[in-house]
Amino acid sequence: MSGMLPYQPVVDMLNEHLLPRSAEQLRPLLGNHAVDLARLLPIVHAKFPDLSPSQSLGLEVERRNLYNAVASYFNAIASTSPLVLIFDDLQWADTATMQLLSYLLMQSASIASQGNTVPLFLLLYRPDEVGETHPLRNLLLAQLRTGQAQEMRLKRLKEDEVQQLLMQMAGHMVGTPFTEEIYKYTEGNPFFIGETIRALVEDGKVKKIGERWQTMVALEDLELPQSVRLVIERRLLNLSPECRVTLAYASLLGRQL
């Protein structure tokens, strides 16, 4: 199941870097690739109004030129200052994004072998949402086989670790009942914890009075925010119909199951 537009993570990165910079600052980074990047990024035309319109070269040639343009741009930045490229939620990425990412990794490995500085790639994903046929799986296996990648798996937080996280967010000691309730709802998932606290604050269920957090509703009335529900719904959609039926029955029995 894909939840991203083609090349979306790369488009977001490039737009963020291009937007605040002038044409004079961008020209040495773009080199001869401005026309190719303009196929993907309308902002390039906005920065360079006199840019000649691109000619149709066929899908395969245009794709290869685009890959070269993106790789060249990132490598040009990395040659002057450290660059970290963070690809988040890759479990939702489409095949086109995976193909471009694979090319970027291959190009970086080749350039690094010559002693040049290249970007650091951080690929973030949820393993339980990357099945056997997911395009990310082959990319990860290929990178691990070359020895050029390291895999780090983040475990769910224990209840005492959840309390430590909440204390860091609040800036003061957080009561055990509140910690227990957050732990029960989120099961130690850091993303769920952050989204839940953010939603509680936005909904006025948790307020900062003076220098301390105060809950404005009974703890048993806390609910998971919509952002967390959407993540759970995505996971359920990846299950077989039989598994979803089983979970529906299990939900009626509650946590005592």
* Segments of the chain scoring below 70 in pLDDT: 1-4, 54, 223-240, 244-245, 247-257
Nearest Cα residue to 128 out of 231, 9, 229: 231
Instruction: Report d(CA 172, CA 198) in Å as an integer.
Output: 17
pTM: 0.69
Please tell me what DSSP assigns to residue 211: T
- For the four alpha carbons of 161, 162, 168 and 174, in that order, the dihedral sign comes to negative
Q: What is the pLDDT of residue 3?
A: 56
pLDDT tens profile 107-154: 998 898 888 899 999 999 988 778 888 888 888 888 888 888 888 888
Q: What is the pLDDT of residue 146?
A: 84
Q: What is the pLDDT of residue 123?
A: 94
**Is residue 186 within 8 Å of residue 196, measured between CB atoms?**
yes
Residue 58 backbone phi and psi in degrees, to 5? 95, 145
Q: What is the pLDDT of residue 238?
A: 58
Own/partner pairs for 57-63, CB < 8 Å, 24+ apart? 62/36
Outline where DSSP puts E strands in the chain: 84-87, 120-123, 206-209, 212-215
Q: What is the pLDDT of residue 74?
A: 95
Find tokens 């909440």 and name the residue.
166
Q: What is the pLDDT of residue 247?
A: 64
* 64 exposure class (CB count in 10 Å sphere: 0-12, 13-18, 19+): middle
Q: What is the pLDDT of residue 184?
A: 84
Q: What is the pLDDT of residue 163?
A: 92
**Residue 153 in tokens:** 């798996």
Q: What is the pLDDT of residue 1?
A: 43
